[in-house]
Chain A
């Protein structure tokens, strides 16, 4: 069984998933999946549609309570069991940020406001839970300025500085994708979970995205978890790939290893071949 093969890395483990299982009624969306994501690495989770990738993400970020399993976040200040925490605490206390498959910005708020909301918790503390802020204490003003600076930094990074005061919902699709990543980075995460960030991007945008993700990994020193269909993105930037099929892990290793894993080729790439063959024969007939 190739699932027994586990990826090893010299880096510190960041997130350990053990025996994760998620059932919806009779449907087993994720079936006894275990893997480890390491610090300062990009870990890609790939698999055909319906393999349970997004469900894994939803369990990691607290939107679903897993039926069985343990999810351990190894922070420098201690360990956290994410499956026991409420979703917003996973983000606030654990520092696990995420984006969504169908972008979830605050469409009627401006780009800058979107990034300010991501810094809600530190700003709340600085505003004395609103009381000090109401009376215009300088501590809040300083904190707000720092928050704007951080937002400005990310806006520069994603090339949206000019559009800071535009409504987020009015941006082109690619900009919205990047803004969502910048927003997630504004919560100052230790893990960034990206759900199909390259979906709907053109090749140039896709290449930009690769650079952005590498930058985040290398300059901000955090772990990135990635669900992606675009193989150019996956093979180009991932340090580590976990392959799911029908809710089960079928392969786990370096891009090199996964690419040559016969199980993956059979279950994943092979299936695609079959589809293509079917499409071709269908076209001829």
Chain B
């Protein structure tokens, strides 16, 4: 036993040369990456452009890359203790300097100055991110040291996560209703102020869009990069119907859905036979085309100025206004409440909650119908579908049209909530965000969409103060989550029909394990 461990130690003896080469290369790459864009900043000045140098930051980037690589290298070689100690020390220094630079008044000037000099990039946010990374590294170091974990391969980790996802799916029977109850109760929670309800409304809008797109991408496997087009069609349909025909929100809502579905079918018809990636680029093109048309058709869409004065929704004919309409009631007077602008905010929240739930129930139901199964079958193998007599074009078109319809509903909700729409709101990035929600959550997983929406929309919204880093972190999160779990966070497929019921599976699994 002892011999073995000594041998193992020997085998793991640190190869300093390899370490330095590895870390040096990483540092060199970091230097090459940062010397241009980090090292120099193009600044607007009175006489034209001016260059400002930031070589200090380049040095910091290079140093971080070097140290980070060394720590990773040590971790991989099982040097848990070294990693734990060094990252703990670094983390402590970082933490102290962050704290010191954040409380400049209560400390001597010299200390604050030193702290600020130590702080990488002189930037609290980036330093905090690094602090978190160091803490994670320290924990990993400790785990390696105590042998409580071993380096998991990608497949092992995937299997672990599959189990987690399956478990989540199982408890989603409770988790779903629980989340729904929470969502219903949210506006009445003590901490729920207007901002929280607004964020909730925004998150729910994306949940609904995610569920709508999930039909197209998650179930039918059609890669749609232009989903925002249907969102836009829905929004403009409502706005224009209201403008030209005085249609109320409730009257216009189905029309907006139908218009969006029609747009989906029209655009889909010529291109749905294309293979995955081609479809992606063509749908992206369609999304851009609709935006360009909205941008340039001045007399109809108002061009870049957009459409404003879109009527707000009413509660079964009762408006949410301070002014009571003549010969009628407003929402507040009818229910004998004092007027509050919060009423409308809360109402909008419930409206999108209801719309989203309709989308959800629809999806859950249609999955168990032949068309839903055909969508999933098409995603799996189109050729086999054809050999079984399923019309691929029609089946895809229904998925595309129905997905578009829910996008249209969400669009008209967006229009009535904002009261103003312009092509600005319907850029490609929106499509990308919605697609990211579907894929990150785990394709086809309804709960995954909720989870991803909270993660991608809710969290950044809460950290709005860090505005400038928001999209940076968003992009980085997309990449990291995908690398960490390519199938999506909660990817798990529940059969649409069972012969034996759930319990049988459970029993069989127990017997096997």
Contact = CB atoms under 8 A, between A and B. Distances in A.
Contact of B495 (A92, A98, A109, A124): A109
Interface in A153-171: 155, 161, 164-165
Given A88-B386, A120-B373, A165 B505 contact: yes
A88 B382 CA distance: 11
Interface stretch (A45-53, A99-107, A274-282): A99-107
B380 A183 contact: no
B385 A134 contact: no
B370 A123 contact: yes
Contacts of A176: none
Interface string B374-397: 101100110111111111100000
A163 to B, nearest CB: 10
A232 interface: no
Contacts of B388: 88, 91, 97, 117-118, 120, 183-184, 187
B395 to A, nearest CB: 9
A62 to B, nearest CB: 8
Given A134-B366, A165-B505, A117 B390 contact: yes
Interface string B249-267: 0000000000000000000
A108 B362 CA distance: 22
A110 interface: yes
Interface in B316-333: none
Given A118-B388, A134-B362, 15 more contacts: A61-B387, A62-B386, A63-B386, A87-B387, A88-B388, A92-B390, A100-B387, A104-B383, A104-B387, A106-B377, A109-B376, A117-B388, A127-B371, A155-B499, A184-B388
A116 to B, nearest CB: 6
Given A110-B495, A148-B497, A165-B499, A117 B365 contact: no
Interface in B463-509: 493, 495-500, 504-505
A229 interface: no
Contact of A104 (B374, B384, B496): B384
Nearest to B373: A117
Contacts of B380: 106-109
Contacts of A109: 373, 376-377, 380, 493, 495
A133 interface: yes
Pick the 5 closest A-B CB pairs, nearest first: A92-B389, A91-B389, A164-B499, A123-B370, A106-B380
Contacts of A61: 387
B-side interface size class:
20 to 34
A191 interface: no
Contacts of B99: none
A121 interface: yes
A93 B366 CA distance: 25
B369 interface: yes
B389 A148 contact: no
Given A110-B495, A112-B498, A130 B384 contact: no
Interface in A119-163: 119-121, 123-124, 127, 129-130, 133-134, 140, 144, 148, 151-152, 155, 161
25 contacts: A61-B387, A63-B386, A88-B386, A88-B389, A88-B390, A105-B381, A106-B380, A106-B384, A107-B380, A109-B495, A112-B495, A112-B499, A113-B373, A113-B376, A117-B373, A117-B377, A117-B385, A120-B370, A123-B370, A129-B371, A133-B369, A134-B362, A140-B369, A144-B497, A165-B500
Interface string A202-233: 00000000000000000000000000000000
Contacts of B373: 109, 113, 116-117, 120
Given A124-B371, A165-B505, A97 B377 contact: no
A199 to B, nearest CB: 17
A95 B362 CA distance: 32
Nearest to A143: B370
A92 B394 CA distance: 14
Given A104-B381, A109-B380, A91 B370 contact: no
Nearest to A151: B499
Nearest to A124: B370
Nearest to B371: A130
Interface in A29-85: 61-63
A180 B53 CA distance: 67
B389 A121 contact: yes
A130 B369 contact: yes
A107 B380 CA distance: 7
